[in-house]
Structure 1
Amino acid sequence: MKTPILLFLFALLVTSASGSVLSVGNGQVNATSELASMNITLDSAPDGLMDYNLSVTIDDPSIATIKNVAFPPWAITTETSLLPSSFCWLNATTGPGTNITTETTLVTITLEGLSGGTTPVSLAVYSMRDDYSNEINPSIINGAFTVNAPVLPNADFSANMTTGVAPLTVAFTDESTGTAPLTYAWDFEDNGTVDETTKNATHTYLAAGNYTVNLTVTGPGGIDSEVRTDYITVTEAPAAPVAAFSANTTTGVAPLTVAFTDESTGAGTKTYEWDFTNDGTVDATTPDAVYTYPSAGTYTVNLTVTNAGGSNSEVKTDYITVTTAPVSPIAAFSANTTSGTAPLTVAFTDASTGTAPLTYAWDFTNDGTVDATTKNATYTYLTAGTYTVNLTVTGPGGTDSEVKSSYITVTSVTPKISAQFTAAPVSGRSPLAVRFTDQSTGTITSYEWDFNNDGMVDSRIKNPLKFFTSAGEYTVQLTVRGPDGTDQEVKNQYIDVTAKPLRPIAFFSANTLSGAAPLNVTFTDKSYNNPDSYLWKFGDGTTSTLKNPSHTYPVPGYYKVSLTASNVAGSSSMAMNIYVTSS
């Protein structure tokens, strides 16, 4: 037996390309359990009908079900899904020479009424071929099936409140459905006693407890009950609360933001009134609150808490102390010397201002590392170079930095022999051919090139050509020798070789494959091998180049969605189908 859902995913919504019309008639019964037949017909197939693969769906399975199907005698082989069901696929082979010139029945379906009402009966075509194996794309006319029987009542209700303090009066509103006239039996405490028989009702619960409510509705279609266990919760009136609170800070500089936390006790629902300056104005009504004091002063805080049992206040006199903001620091410094030969020792003197206490962070090479934390400091520069010095000063008023760019210049004795080189190119895809050019100075008698910094000499010529066949970052070292000595230059991660990209493999998913119009579908790219461009075709003439687009289908139908994923190595495509039904 084939799986209907697999056929559904691969079905294509057809349009009137051949001029043929596939239709299903309307049917009705006058009672539940009664049967009625409906014909699925094709009006023409002038080039013959070799086979067809269809499906029929009862849109509302609560109203009817498909009991059985019957094919015409000229159908050679037939196949259907398991019945009874609200969905059935129909597969038949007729053989060549079955020409249709007038409306012809392809299959007869028998439906059984289950409950009163009308449901659409929908057709779908997966495949229909003529004698030449060409697809026949008929238009589709759907039908309807009506069960002329009273609708079974569906008991339902709501309440204006479900919790409260005794005595609690609750108004119940009927929201039941079903064929009229309906009668009602309310049991507000589920004790078997009918308390009210009106459509809507009011009941007062005098004592604390959890109450189950039962509504039974009777009509021409039958009887139904809605029972909601422990639906109404009634509590005794609580004792008066005891107000209490705390704050995350009670002192600070203006503007001072304070977070207040409620620590009150007492049962039941409570309301809150915060007065953060004790001026009689309610500043907040949430359990916890945040308040900013904009100016210096001493403030009294008042919290009043109320519940069904009464009210209580906690007043903390002079609880919050706010002071004036200190002066922000201004970082400044000087040095006893700013240039010299390595190793160069420099004494730095702080000249910063601002409200004390101040702390210091010296960075003598501006590399992000704190080298000293004293007010004044000394530092020795070991190698030649130009150095930027950064002093960061922190105090009660904030933080400030002074950065002196290229402040210290350290020189060294120029060597008689100096190893230097360049290369081109320094990056690219494998295999990468790189030409190295010697630019060393001094009298050079030998060259030793190490292209991957593994300690092995890879070349001894002056300007070698090297092929890098594997992806990676390569550190290159040149050692030169002469009568004046030896020197090296090492360039870390100098050559960057990347692997040749692979052609992408397109793949994607959708958050839904079917639904009622207008249907919004979100597509998620899951392609392999790092594509860098996308072309989506949504099957309705529109496109997108986003990686993960969303698209809305306003019209019912079958839509073929495709994704083409590309990069410099090529492209590939994938497609899937979206089925949009009528709303």
Structure 2
Amino acid sequence: MNPTNSVTGAKLPFDTAVSIWVEIIDRRGCIGRDTMQVTRLRPPEIHLSSTNLNGTAKAMFCPSQPFTIYDSLYSAAANATYSWKVDNYSIAHASYTLDTALLHNKNGYSFTLTKTDSLGCTNFMNKKITISPEPAANFLVPNAICQGVRVNITNASEPKNNSAGANDIIKTYQWIFNHYDTAWVKQNSVKSGQVNDFESSPLMEGNIYEGFSNIFNQLGINTLKLVTVNGSECTDTLTKTFYLNPAVTAQIDTTAQMDACLGDTSLFAVGPGTSVGDSMHYTWYMEGKSLLTDSVTINHLFSSAKVHQVVLMAKSDSGCYHYDTTIAVVNPNPKASFANMPVCFKETASFISDNPATQYTWDFGNGQRTETTDNYTQKVQYAQPDTFEVSLKLTNKHGCTDSILKPVIVFPLPDPLFTLNQDTACLNAQPQWFNPPARQNGYSYQWRFGDNTTSELHTPAKTYNAAKDYEVILQVTSHLGCHNQDTNRITVKALSNARLNLNGTTFCEKDQVLAGLNSGMATGIHSVTWVFGSDTAWQDANINAVHAFATPGLTTIQAIVLNNLGCTDTTRREIDVKPLPRISILTDTATCFGTNHLFNIITTPTTGNIRDYHWNFGEPTSGNNNTSTMQSPWHRYQSTGTYTVALKTSSNAGCEFMTDTTIRVYALPNEDLPDTARPAWPR
């Protein structure tokens, strides 16, 4: 038993009479009871359903889609009454069905229907209706659509990815071109592929999810409609019109210049297939630059040698355009260069190209030209000193050329002409003087005398020591480094090569010196000048001479020989002329018979040392007494008469001197003789 003061009938069966009794016991223990008959009535049945206008049951609807919500268990016989609440707000509507207006709450609505039957029993039911957002149909069409040109139609419809609810995502795109009955319908689950064009059934390519591309061919105004349907079958439609312009064609004239050399202007022209007219404009793209022109030709100077891409865009005022592409080959030019070293007159100037080519054209500035296919050294001798403009033109295998012009200086040669003060000379004669041109600042002079001797003096003197012909060369070098030389010949004539022969080297005064020349002389003798010290000199053709020196001392004998070549040769010898032991006999010139007679001598200052004396008294009959070696001897004559007394002295040098005197020997006085018979004694 339930000890409460109330009881519910939830557990009572429907439509069955049930007796319910109640017993009450108070605090005193007193009990009271009661019984009643109860029947539990069944509540009215209710079920909310929702359908669209087509009667399709749905619980999700589009904002622009009316729908009906109703009690699907409605029975007119039940005679029930109804009341509605939308999102807990009561509405004045008592029918079992509710037709909604256009609802736009994207979060949906909560509907509550309360049903009351004729017995007063009630029941209610809640139903959630979701409002799905409509898709936003959108697509982008280019401003200019041209015939025959594939056009990209960009699908910009939203939503088309999983950032929205699953039923919000667009599931179907329907494209309708120019109100054709058939449309291109593509499910979003297929992201890419190929479908047939609805216009004229060419192949249309694209990604239905992103858009598509198509080639339109119907000129003029066209329409394109897009119908989008999402998972809730909500739709949106967008229609756009566009104008299909005539096609434009670009064609580059390939007969124009497509092969050029760097630095040459290239001419480009549109080809015969290019669209032309006042509405056409042409843009050329070369070397990263766009060159806009309304002309059908254009000149361009390329900045580098390589294969360049050339693009022509032909564009009409309607925005239609077309491209054509070709290549232009810009060949490199050769690099003309050569060394232009100055040269001296009469030297060979050499030229060679610094860089290779297939053809070399030279102009040497003197009227001389040459053209070769080989790069070998060109040698040129210029006819006079000057500055010549030399040009070189190179041509490479592409026919491209490059030229260069350089001055080449031909320096004049220095003046080397010189003269001799004579063209013949005698051996060992006085120096030969050479007379060169006037000295120039910075010039150098190099003499070669023909005997392996040289000089760098401007005006040298030269003595030759061998008789022959010599070639004298003077080379003059200018301050510019140019050389020039002159040559003269000089004949050096031989000397007689005479040698002086004497009959001695030491002589005494008055001795005869015999001088003679050797017989093996190199040349014939024209004359000989004999010089004997300071005594005398004479000239004759005799190679022998005799001379006696009157003065003692050292002296020189010279023979100056003039040969038949006109050359003078001197040979000399030094001799010592010793003094004679000169003395004078000092004695009386008369003596008496039978007396001793004294002989003395007197010497001169140049006598020298007398080594010995040899006296001869002129009296052979006196035997050994006739001579004496004493310096001052005595002699007694044996008979009267006149005697010649001779004295020979010898010096230490071996020189001898002889002197004599006469002495008269008188008889002793005789008394018987008359005075007239007596000899007179000298007094």
Q: Which TM-score band (shorter chain)?
A: under 0.3
Work out which structure has the larger RCO, using CA pairs closer than 8 Å and 6 or more positions apart in sequence: 1
Task: Look at both structures and tell me which one has the larger radius of gyration over its CA atoms.
Answer: 2
TM-score, normalised via structure 2 length: 0.21
